[in-house]
Each structure stands twice: as structure tokens, then as C-alpha cells.
Amino acid sequence: MAVIALALLLFATLGGGCSSDDVTRSSIEREPLPQGAALVTPYYTDADGDWIHTPRALEDGMRRFYDETGVWPYLYILPNGTSTSTEELAQYADQLYEELFSDDAHFILVFCDDGNGSFNAGYAVGSQAKTVMDAEAVSVLADYLDRYYRNQGLSEEQLFSKAFADTGARIMTVTKSPLVPLAICAAVVIVAIVIALLVKRQRDQRERESRRMEQILNAPLEKFGDRETENLARKYESASAADAPNAAASSTATPDAAASDPLTPATPAANHPDDPGAPSAPDAASSTKGPDA
């Protein structure tokens, strides 16, 4: 869960850079028109009468477009269903430009809703403003108009305000390559996988150590005593086996006590009376001299 939260946090921090962008990329470095190139005029005309109810909400975004580009934007909204031909709307935009402006630094957008969930538009741009509002810049504006037109959460004023403001910000910078956000997303995924593997490895190690400690704590004490006794017995058996040959050699080399001392004379054996070689004892009667002898 922590890894998922980290990945979501990085995704939010990067502003959803992994998502696809359906707006034309800006590939040209553009310079804004000098201050005062465009004469100050109103920002819009609502010929339909039911589109713009909060002028300030619309004008905020259009003013930001002017601050970024130096080109003064103008929105002309025709009554719904007036025309579905972009060529016809472009011609009408040229006509309105000549009628409304006396400089070459305006951009006018003629908008017409078809009443069936779609719209058509045409535009005209002054010769000086063309250095900023080139074909690529116009495509950027068209993409933003299409995106915000389909956004049901925006009001009519917000639709046009955001389209112009975002166009001004985008066309005055070179859009980064889509490989950059893709590389960032890939890096986020790789980091998340590495962190997940490290966390799993640490968790598995802790579990193994916990199981080992549990086995040690649950083992009976007799098991430890028997093991120590067996080790001690094997130790003494090994020592006894090593001493046995030395003891046998010592007993074989010791002679008989009687034969080992040559200075001790042998004690003669006493003759037995019945021995034939033994002298006979004198007779008591013959050896005693009496008075008659």
C-alpha cells in the first residue's frame, strides 16, 4: 500500500504527465507583439444574445491571451444554426475585421453553434498578428475549443475564456517532447517496483527470523540438556580412545619385580623332611647320654 501511495503521489505531483495530450504541440518559438501594436477594443459580440451572461468571466481569459501574445482577441458569436460552412464563416470574419479594426494586430473568431451538440468557426488575423497566430497556433486554439466545448462542467463564458487563455500560454512556449513524460512515468513505475521488491525482501527476512526465534522459544529444555550431554560424552569418549594405546604400551614394558633386582639374593627353599636328599634328624634316644654310657 505504501508503494502504491508513493506512485500516486508522484503521479499527482507530475500533474498527470503520463496521460495523452490531444492538443497540438507548439514547436515554434514565438515573440509577442510590441506593446500598443493593437488598438484597445471590446472583446466580444454576442449576436445570439444567450451565450454571454457574465462578461467578466469571459474577458479574464481573453485578457490573459493578450498579455501573453500582444495580439488582441475578439469573439463574435452568431445566432445558433446561422451557418455550418467554415468557408462561409471565414469570409464573414474577413468582412468583420475590416469593419471593426483599423490595425493589423487583432485576431477575430467567428463562432456558430449548430444546435445539435457541435459548432463551426472561422477566423481572420491581421498581417502583424500572423507572426504569432500562425496556422499551428490556430490549430492549438481549435483543439482547446473542441476540448472545452465537450466539457459539460464549464459555462459558456468559461469555455471561451479557458480556450483563449490556455492557447496564449501554450503557443508562446515550445511544447516538451512527449517522450519526457513517458520517461518520467517509466521511472516512477521502475522505482515503485524496486521499492516493492526491497520491502518484500525485508518482510520475508523478518518472517524467517521470527519463525526461527519462535522455534527456539518453543523447543523443550530437555532437548538442549540432552544435546549438551551428548556432546560432552563424545568429547570424553574421544579422549579415552586416545589414551588407551599409551596405557597398553606402559604395562608391557614393566618386568617382574623379583627378576628385576639382581642384588637381592634368592631365598633358598627349606628341605622337606620327606625329601630323600635331606639329612635325617638324630634320634633323640641315642643322642642323649645317660649315666650308663
Higher pLDDT, 21 or 197: 197
Cβ distance 108 to 96 under 8 Å? yes
Tens-digit pLDDT profile for residues 64-79: 999 999 999 999 999 9
Higher pLDDT, 188 or 240: 188
Cell 492538443 found at? 23
Of 169, 181, 144, 180, the residue nearest 16 (C-alpha)? 181
Q: Looking at residue 2, what is its pLDDT?
A: 47
Lowest mean pLDDT across 135-144, 161-170, 200-209: 200-209
Residue 236's pLDDT band, with cuts at 50, 70 and 90, is low
Tens-digit pLDDT profile for residues 120-136: 999 999 999 999 999 99
Lowest mean pLDDT across 33-42, 75-84, 280-289: 280-289
Lowest mean pLDDT across 5-14, 78-87, 246-255: 5-14
Cβ distance 124 to 96 under 8 Å? yes
**Domains of the chain, CATH where assigned:** 8-21+178-220 (no CATH), 26-171 (3.10.310.50)
Dihedral of CA 233/239/241/243: which sign? Answer: negative
What does the mean pLDDT of the chain come to? Answer: 80
Residue 220's pLDDT band, with cuts at 50, 70 and 90, is low
Q: Looking at residue 43, what is its pLDDT?
A: 98
Tens-digit pLDDT profile for residues 14-31: 444 454 578 999 999 999
Cell of residue 99, nine digits: 469593419
**Confidence check: pLDDT of 11 > 50:** no
For residue 106, CA distances in Å to 164, 261, 283 come to: 13, 144, 182
Residue 250: how many other CB atoms lie within 10 Å: 9
Dihedral of CA 202/205/209/215: which sign? Answer: positive
What is the DSSP secondary-structure string of the chain?
-HHHHHHHHHHHHTTSTTS---SPP--S---PPPTTSSPP--SEEESSSSS-S-HHHHHHHHHHHHHHHSPEEEEEEPPTTS---HHHHHHHHHHHHHHH-SSS-EEEEEEEE-SSS-EEEEEEE-TTGGGTS-HHHHHHHHHHHHHHHT-TTS-HHHHHHHHHHHHHHHHTSPPPPTHHHHHHHHHHHHHHHHHHHHHHHHHHHHHHHHHHHHHHHHS-HHHHHHHHHHHHHHHHHHHHHHHHHHHHHHHHTPPPHHHH-TTSPPPPPPPPTT-TTSPPPPPHHHHS--TT-
For the chain, what percent of residues have pLDDT higher than 70? Answer: 67
Tens-digit pLDDT profile for residues 281-291: 444 444 444 44
Residue 142's pLDDT band, with cuts at 50, 70 and 90, is very high
Residue 150's pLDDT band, with cuts at 50, 70 and 90, is very high
Q: Residue 65 class from Cβ within 10 Å (0-12 exposed, 13-18 middle, 19+ buried)?
A: buried
